[in-house]
Amino acid sequence: MRLMSWPAMGLRVFLITSCLLLLAPIAPTAAAQEFKLAMSSPPTSMDPHFYNLFPNINVSDHIFEQLVAMDADSHIIPALAESWTLVNNLTWEFKLRKGARFHDGSPLTAEDVAWSLDRPATIVGSPGKFDTYTKAIINKKIIDPYTIQLTTKEPYPLLLADLTSIYIVSKKATQGLSSDDFASGKGMIGTGPFKFVKFQRDDRIELERNNDYWGKKPAWSKVTLRFIPNDATRLAALLAGDVQAIENVPTPDLAKVRADKNLSFYSKVSHRVIYLYADTRREKSPFVTDKDGKPLDKNPLQDVRVRRALSIAINRDAIRDRVMEGLSEPTNNLVPAALFGHNPNLKPPKYDPEAAKKLLAEAGYPNGFGLTLHTPNNRYINDEKIAQTIAQMWSRIGIATKVEGAPMSVYSARGAKSEYSIGLLGWGAQTGEVSSPLRAMVACDNPAKGMGAVNWLKYCNPKMDAVLAKALISVDDKERSRLLQEATAIVIDDGGVIPIHQQVTTWATKKGIVYIPRTDERTHAYGFYPQ
Amino acid sequence: MLAFIIRRVLQSLVVLLVMSLLVFIGVYAIGNPIDVLISPDADQIERAKVIVAFGLDKPLWLQYFIFLKNAAGGDLGRSFAYSTPALTLIFERMPATLELSSAAILLSIVLGLPLGLLAGLRPNGVVGKAIMAVSILGFSLPTFWVGLMLIMVFAVQLGWLPTSGRGETQLLFGVPVSFLSWDGLRHLLMPAFNLALFNIALVIRLTRSGAQEALMQDYVKFARAKGLRNSRIIGVHVLKNILIPIVTVVALQFGSIIAFSIVTETVFAWPGMGKLIIDSIRVLDRPVIVAYLLLIVTIFILINLVVDMLYSALDPRVRLAESKG
């Protein structure tokens, strides 16, 4: 082998090095990529323990984490707790993730977990505290810095679901802070995939990637969450390229968005069910009349045949196709199929107006009667339109129905005072199982036990309550699922509520950005990826 | 002058008191804020606790007196939804609204006066008629529609301007403002124009009729005979004499623009007070509603005071002679 002369070698080295240096910037860096996302409601506070409001928890998900989390199908997965076991019927032991660190570098310890479980009850001035989810825990025992035991008063299978709502904050960083302080960034030290940078109230939140995150690192180094409540403006921001993704595509623009080649459309069945509740208690109901408008002596809604007739007279498929643009899932359950406690034997009833008329005749109302259906008009997707469609369907079987809509603030105030006879409402099973809607919607009214929170017309079925009570203390998943399905079947067959459909949540992104849609309606910047 | 101001202050206090009473009763009549705000999973015990915490279990007259007592000390209550003091929330958002409103008023004057003068000087020409026709559109087109059209045309189709939001802010005397940067101005342009449209039309029409009337006056004939330049006649003599109604209207509109920039702020996602008030009304956040309306009433009162004092400055015939009865 002949050696090269020094000058030739030097030239060769020089050429190779300069080529490498020139090419280096072209080689992809670990994405210094920015991502802008437009949401539809702004959070009211940066304190993750302040207020159990959907926009607040949606933002908290980016910066903070819980012991256990919900995946895209609302199943429970480990988060800051790597594993857990049941020591006995009342005690749960959690092993914490050793690799998890707070954004200020300090490690996550059981002290922080205990502090975070105590803090929600101490919050002042919140209209909806998180201590609903911590009050079942009567004792916490720190075994070692990475192990903690939680004890409940009675067997409490919902502990894991409750823990998905409690964010773990750093004790060091949040000691002595009030909820107001978080807005400037104090205390905003979490373990999540993003670090807090700036909060401009009702305008935007800026985040940057946590490069020491224990889990899957997000694709974006910098994220801006913008809040654009006006539907048209939010979509315009996506079309103009001001943001790369939006949540809640406005219904009138769905067809346009799906047809647009520059956009990608994502949807998923949500845990929110839209249903009707009826007055089964009162002999004389305020908005039930005969065809001439005179009040009736006996309330037809008390007859289960009438309620069944009302249910099968609703053409849920037509509502899905015509009113919801294909974006709803007709149902006879209180939770979607993926959620715990869904009863696969309860299928949406077939649309059968003839059978409905027969049932009405059997019950003694061959000519029908008059009804007023109340509904909110600014709360659920197409709420008033759905009510108007249902009213027309009922008119076809002889029930002259009027619709009265009102903003949610007015509607819920009057509804809670049992002023209505039949109304439309929605419920999102945030805990990922059907025990939540059963307790709130149809359990006999019992404030001391927390039953019947939205059971405005006080439906009560002791048989269902007995099954539900057993389910709520059954720690065995299979047994609990069976009992919950049984409870759902009892209440649906009795017409305690009439489910219509599960809502579908929608997202739209610029082509080239992928999103993994979620059942719990949440929109996370770390759920978006460049293709 | 002093007596005049003192009487004004007393009158204003009465107005503020009546306003706060009306809002209290009005919000109470609509419904209970708790039903809207409370977490869906909360049960009745939680609900009862929150009601007590917000003082909503007390009778209405007692709640009102507590409010008056605190207001005398400068505390207008804490927002139900945000838990921050209501005044803090409003003052946080005020710079954005003031910036937008001031920009809108500036546009009204800068565009309205010259166009109105032009229309007044050549009322029968093509230009004059065109300006009047356009001003009718300014009156009649609804603000939210114009805003959405502006976004569609200039942001989505042409891509010249951003769709919504406020640009980068810098601190000016401790107050965040966005007009000091090019990015901020780009974000400010469309919402300010949208908000100003109605006023531009108003100023155009006022200026035009004022100019037409003034041009027929003797002093204009005399000035022409004297040989003054046209620009001086119009720019100095005519303009000064027609300014009084324009100043009145612009000043009153300023208050109105600040108070009711709701639609523009909602359409353009501008983080101002207007959006705050509409959101608060929707969730019945009474402390914020009361604080906001009291603030607006105060602003209107101050503006009226300034207008009255400007009158006496602009027109030597007017004296603040109310004290003499």
The domain tally of chain B equals: 2
CB contact under 8 A, B266 and A229: yes
- Of B72, B97, B122, the residue that ends a domain is B72
Residues 157-186 in A contacting B (C-alpha not used; CB under 8 Å): 179-180, 183
Which residues of chain B carry a pLDDT beneath 70? 31, 36, 39-43, 318-325
Residue to mutate among A37, A126, A374, with most B CBs inside 10 A, is A126
In a domain, B77, yes or no: no
Task: Catalogue the E-assigned strands of A263-314.
Answer: 263-278, 288-289
| Residue B291 counted as domain residue | yes
**pLDDT confidence of residue A343:** 94
Q: Which two tokens stand for residue B320?
A: 């603040």
CA–CA distance, A109 with A106 (Å, rounded to integer): 9
Which of B48, B72, B96 marks a domain boundary? B72
What predicted TM-score, i.e. pTM, was given to this entire model?
0.82
A412:B54 CB<8 A? no
Residue of A248, A192, A250, A249 lying closest to A223 (CA atoms)? A192
**A397 contact partners, CB below 8 Å, separation of at least 6:** A309, A313, A353, A356, A357, A360, A368
Is position B57 within any domain? yes
Same domain, B31 and B58: yes
ipTM, 2 dp = 0.81
Partners of residue B275 in chain A, C-beta under 8 Å: 202, 229
Q: Is residue B136 part of a domain?
A: yes
Q: Is the CB of B151 less than 8 angstroms away from the CB of A236?
A: yes
**Residue B3: inside a domain:** no
> A509-519: buried (b, 16+ CB within 10 Å) or exposed (e) per residue?
bbeebebebbb
Q: Is residue B80 part of a domain?
A: no
B124 shares a domain with B52: no
- CB contact residues (below 8 A), chain A span 24-53, against chain B: 44-45, 50-53
With CB atoms and an 8 Å threshold, state whether B83 touches A50.
Answer: yes
Chain A neighbors of B269, CB-CB under 8 A: 203, 226-230, 233
B59 shares its domain with B175: no
Q: Do residue B14 and residue B113 come from a single domain?
A: no
**How does pLDDT run along chain A (531 residues), one tens digit per residue?**
455 556 666 566 566 555 554 444 443 444 568 999 999 988 988 999 988 888 999 999 999 999 999 999 989 999 999 999 999 989 999 999 998 999 999 999 999 999 999 999 888 878 778 888 888 899 999 999 999 999 999 888 889 999 999 999 999 999 999 888 898 889 999 999 999 999 988 889 999 999 999 999 999 999 999 999 889 999 999 999 999 999 999 988 999 999 999 999 999 999 999 999 999 999 889 999 988 888 888 899 999 999 999 999 999 999 999 999 899 999 999 999 989 899 999 999 999 999 999 999 999 999 999 999 999 998 898 999 999 999 999 999 999 999 999 988 788 878 888 899 999 999 988 888 899 899 889 999 887 777 888 899 999 999 999 999 999 888 888 999 999 999 999 999 999 999 999 999 999 999 999 999 999 999 999 999 998
Residue recorded with tokens 């999103």: A515
| Minimum CA–CA partner of B162 in chain A | A242
**Between β-strands A167-168 and A194-200, what pairing exists: parallel, antiparallel or unpaired?**
unpaired
Contact A412 B36 (CB under 8 A): yes
A91 and A78 Cβ atoms separated by less than 8 Å: no
Asked if B92 and A201 come within 8 Å (Cβ–Cβ), the reply is yes
Q: Are residues B285 and B198 in the same domain?
A: yes
Q: Does residue A233 sit at the B interface (CB-CB below 8 Å)?
A: yes
Please check whether residue A203 touches B, CB under 8 A: yes
One domain, residues B19 and B164: no
Q: Can you give the pLDDT at residue A16?
A: 59
Q: B48 with B144, same domain? A: no
Does some domain include residue B2?
no
What DSSP designation does B158 have? S
- Are B55 and B106 contained in the same domain? no
Distance CA A521, CA A428 (A): 9
At B171, which CATH number? Answer: 1.10.3720.10
Are B63 and B97 within one domain? no
**Residues B211, B100 share a domain:** yes
Cα of A323 to nearest chain B Cα, Å: 24
Q: Is there a single domain that holds both residue B63 and residue B134?
A: no
CA distance A327 to A345: 23
Q: Which domain holds residue B48?
A: 10-72
Spatial distance between the Cα atoms of A62 and A77, rounded to a whole number of angstroms: 17
Minimal-distance CA residue of chain B relative to A227? B269
CA distance B284 to chain A (A): 7
Distance from CA of B266 to the nearest CA of A (A): 6
**Closest to A44 measured CA to CA, from A156, A117, A104, A127:** A127
Of A180, A408, A450, the CB nearest to B43: A450
The alpha-carbon gap from B69 to the nearest alpha carbon of chain A, in Å, equals 20
Those residues with Cβ within 8 angstroms of residue A191's Cβ, 6 or more apart along the chain or in another chain: A64, A65, A80, A100, A101, A102, A103, A108, A168, A213, A214
Whether residue B66 is found in the same domain as residue B161: no
CA distance A215 to A71: 14
Q: Determine, yes or no, domain membership for B142.
A: yes
Q: Which residues of B touch A44 (CB under 8 A)?
A: 81-82
